[in-house]
Amino acid sequence: MQIYLPIAELSVNIWLILGLGGVVGYLSGLFGVGGGFLLTPLLIFIGVPPAVAVATSANQVVAASVSGVYAHWRRANVDFRMGTVLLIGGLVGSAFGGFLFSYLKQRGQIDLVISLSYVVILGGVGGLMGVESLRTLLRKPQPGLPPRRIRRFHDHPLLRALPFKMRFRKSQLYISALLPLVLGALVGVLAAIMGVGAGFLLVPAMIYLLGMPAAIVVGTSLFQIIFVTANVTMFHAIATQTVDVVLALLLLVGSVVGAQYGARHGTKLRGEQMRGLLALLVLAVAVALVVDMVLPPTEQFSFEPALVGGSR
Amino acid sequence: MSARLLLLLLLLLPLPLQGSAFAQARAPLAALAPADAPLVTDLSAHLIAITSSFTGTELLLFGAIDEPGDIVVVVRGPSGSTVVRRKDAVAGIWLNRRSLRFDGVPSYYAVSSTRPLEDIASPALLNRLQIGAESLRFRAATDQEEPQQYRAAVLRLKEQSGLYREELGVVFLGPKLFRAEISFPATVAVGTYRAEVYLIRDDRVIAAQSTPLFVDKQGLEQEVFDYSRREPAVYGFIAVLLAVAAGWLAALLFRR
């Protein structure tokens, strides 16, 4: 069954879009990532114009995140205080990232920067998580040994000395508010440049850098992503006018259902299993990107069909 | 139907149409079909409505000739600017490096004829009338080397997406009557199109006709599109609200 998308201006199969939404929603509920880094390339692959794909993915990630947060919130797995501090940092960071984006665009370097940051960050994050979770999984079958205390980043004496200490009860942390603020800002910069919610960055950073319990991380990350992606949706609706509500509705019908199953299955996974799977997924996307960049393209040219005089 | 009833209908017909509107509706048809014209044509429809179930469509162009010759049908869509990008390898990585903008590129272009174009007319005539994608005149917006490569890429990519087509699709149903089917893919742009029909013999245009054709979004498609342009901030806000509501609703439905 086909349906015509009014903004993307093409006809798509309804079941294909529902299925895409379902798969991405499932992963987002499972791992607490928005899924934008998966959905955007998939939409472009089926022929949606890139600008529409970016803006509409952001819109549907809002829905998937709300659905996911609700499920985690009912299990009391959301640290709203931590989420809010991260969000404030994220909003500041994404504003700065926007300026950086236009500066690089002026210099004509933006394509290179986007491609490289995708590969470096996806590859780096995926690799680190993969190695770590593999190590944890392999160490498991040795009884008797006391679990080695992993020295957390925030335990460093210098960071302990930072001012503005805040108590995050849910995360069982008493740390300087500057840490999540700066983390949120850094992720925000990257999110603005790469055009994604950056949950796949935030989740490992919260585990490794802040030392938050894995169970809390997913819900808190989703909570923050709601606002970041809502912001991106508004920006695109006004500035680029590429948000396709019909496409977003179809995607989110699939994804909100998927996210429920994802969140349910996520609670059955152990922390290192979850991280290992997320690492595999992130690495797979990075490898696909590298292959796409290194292999000579079959078609060297591409064109933007936009700017037709008569299309109003 | 009896002759008397037919007469009554004929008498009643102009009444609700009220003078001028009726005259307007008749005028183009009359202009298209002068009694002694060597070429008379029309389209099966003059409006392509893009609704939510639109998956592309086909129009039937039909006509009759009074003199022998070849028929060439050309349908041109609204033209605009197109940016063509070229990927090049930088340190082993393929990236979009250069781009070239073309102005006056038809969004859609279809040619259908009785025989191959080169057998019907000389390159000079084809070029003058811009018949055949090769003879389309669109120019690069900036001076740059190798515009030919970019130009060829536009034609190739348009053809791959079904927006530029050349067919031997004009079929004669007898010595005078002909028909041609014209396909429009789902990605066809909205706007005003022109369907041109040429009767060509001995490298000369014996007769030509041009008919407008409109492609427009209708119903929900139209309203969503218009609203996103008229009230972008409200549209964005509604999009976010819809997403939040849908996510919340799904979470409630799945609560156990």
Query: What HEC string does A228-244 produce?
Result: HHHHHHHHHHHHCCCCC
Query: CB–CB of B85 and A310 under 8 A?
Result: no
* Mutation to test the A interface, candidates B221, B240, B241, B256, most A Cβ within 10 Å: B240
Q: Is A303 inside any structural domain?
A: no
Is A1 domain-assigned?
A: no
Q: What confidence tens digit (pLDDT) does each residue in A66-96 have?
A: 887 887 888 888 888 888 998 998 888 877 8
The residue type at A97:
G
Q: How far apart (Å, rounded) are the C-alpha atoms in residues B180 and B72? A: 10
With CB atoms and an 8 Å threshold, state whether B79 touches A309.
yes
Interchain contact, A234 vs B236, CB within 8 Å: yes
Query: Between residues B172 and A311, which one has the greater pLDDT?
Result: B172
Question: Among partner residues A226, A238, A310, which is closest to B191 by beta-carbon distance?
Answer: A310
**Partner A contacted by B198 (CB < 8 A):** no
pTM above 0.90, yes or no: no
Which pLDDT score, from 0 to 100, does residue A310 have?
A: 33
pLDDT of residue B16 exceeding 80, the answer is no
Q: Which two tokens stand for residue B143?
A: 């001076």
The helix/strand/coil state of B165 is strand
pLDDT band at residue B13 using 50, 70 and 90 as cut-offs? very low
Does any CB of chain B come closer than 8 Å to the CB of residue A253? yes
Residues in chain A with CB shorter than 8 Å from the CB of B56 are 11
User: For chain A, what is the domain count?
Assistant: 1
User: Structural domain of residue A19, as residue ranges?
Assistant: 6-139+151-295
CB-based contact, B192 to chain A, within 8 Å: yes
Tokens for B48? 């392509």
**Residue B175 CB-density burial (10 A; 0-12 exposed, 13-18 middle, 19+ buried):** exposed
Instruction: Look at residue A140 and tell me whether its pLDDT is greater than 70.
Output: no
Taking the Cβ of residue A256 and every Cβ of chain B, the question of whether any pair is shorter than 8 Å is answered with yes
Maximum Cα interatomic distance, chain A, rounded to a whole number of Å: 75
What average pLDDT does the segment A291-296 reach? 81
CA-based nearest distance B33→chain A, Å: 29
Instruction: Report the pLDDT averaged over residues A271-295.
Output: 81
pLDDT at A1: 82
Name the amino acid, one letter, at A141: P
Q: Which residue of B has its CA nearest to A297?
A: B94
Q: What is the pLDDT of residues B36-60, one digit of tens each?
A: 678 999 999 999 999 888 888 999 9
Architecture of domain B33-79+105-217: Sandwich (2.60)
Residue A80 falls inside a structural domain: yes
Reported as a pLDDT band with limits 50, 70 and 90, residue B12 is very low
Distance from CA of B176 to the nearest CA of A (A): 36
Within-domain flag for A186: yes
> Which residues of chain A does B221 touch, with a Cβ-Cβ cutoff of 8 Å?
4, 6
Residue from the list B78, B93, B217 with its beta carbon closest to the beta carbon of A6? B217
User: Which of B186, B237, B249 has the CB atom closest to A4's CB atom?
Assistant: B186
| Predicted-complex ipTM score | 0.78
Q: Which two tokens stand for residue A21?
A: 């939404």
- Ordered by start, the domain boundaries in chain B are 33-79+105-217, 219-250
Task: Please check whether residue A135 lies inside any domain of the structure.
Answer: yes
Q: Domain for residue A306, yes or no?
A: no
- Give the C-alpha separation, B225 to A158, whole Å: 55
